[in-house]
C-alpha cells in the first residue's frame, strides 16, 4: 500500500493519453470528478508520446486507455472515453478491497 497525506492508496488508475487526443480531453474533467469521489484511488496520466516505452510495456495502442492496478498488477483495462465503464470499474475494484483478482 502507498501512503500519501494519511490516506491509504488502494488502487492506481493510469490514464494513457496524448495531447492530440480529443476523447482524452473530453474525459479529463470526469476523471477529476472521480479523483475527488475516491480519495483512496491515485489517478496518474501517462503521455504516450513522451513515454512510449511505458505505453509499449503495458500494451497500450489506443487512447485513452485506462489501466487499473492493485499491488502493481493490472486488474482491469478500459479502452476509450467511456464514463460509465470507468465509474463501474473503480466502484467494483474499490468494493473488493484487496487484490485477489
User: Which letter does DSSP use for residue 80 in this model?
Assistant: S
| Distance of alpha carbon 40 from alpha carbon 8, whole angstroms | 6
Assign 101 a pLDDT band (cuts: 50, 70, 90): very low
pLDDT of the residue at 32: 95
pLDDT of the residue at 6: 52
Q: Which domain holds residue 46?
A: 42-74
In a domain, 47, yes or no: yes
- CA geometry: angle 92, 61, 51, nearest 5 deg: 95
In a domain, 23, yes or no: no
Q: Is 21 a catalytic residue?
A: yes
Q: Grid coordinates in use for 13?
A: 488508475
> Which listed residue (10, 14, 21, 34) is catalytic?
21
* Number of domains into which the chain is organized: 1
In a domain, 95, yes or no: no
In a domain, 6, yes or no: no
> Which listed residue (24, 63, 67, 89) is catalytic?
24
Q: Is 24 a catalytic residue?
A: yes
Give the mean pLDDT of the chain.
89
Q: Grid coordinates in use for 72?
A: 502493481
In a domain, 82, yes or no: no
Amino acid at each position: 500500500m502507498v501512503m500519501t497525506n494519511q490516506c491509504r492508496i488502494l488502487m492506481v488508475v493510469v490514464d494513457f493519453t496524448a495531447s492530440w487526443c480529443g476523447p482524452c480531453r473530453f474525459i479529463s474533467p470526469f476523471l477529476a470528478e472521480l479523483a475527488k469521489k475516491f480519495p483512496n484511488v491515485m489517478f496518474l496520466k501517462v503521455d504516450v508520446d513522451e513515454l512510449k516505452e511505458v505505453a509499449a510495456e503495458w500494451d497500450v495502442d489506443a487512447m485513452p486507455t485506462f489501466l487499473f492496478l492493485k499491488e502493481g498488477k493490472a486488474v482491469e483495462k478500459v479502452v476509450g472515453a467511456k464514463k460509465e465503464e470507468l465509474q463501474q470499474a473503480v466502484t467494483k475494484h474499490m468494493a473488493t478491497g484487496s487484490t485477489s483478482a
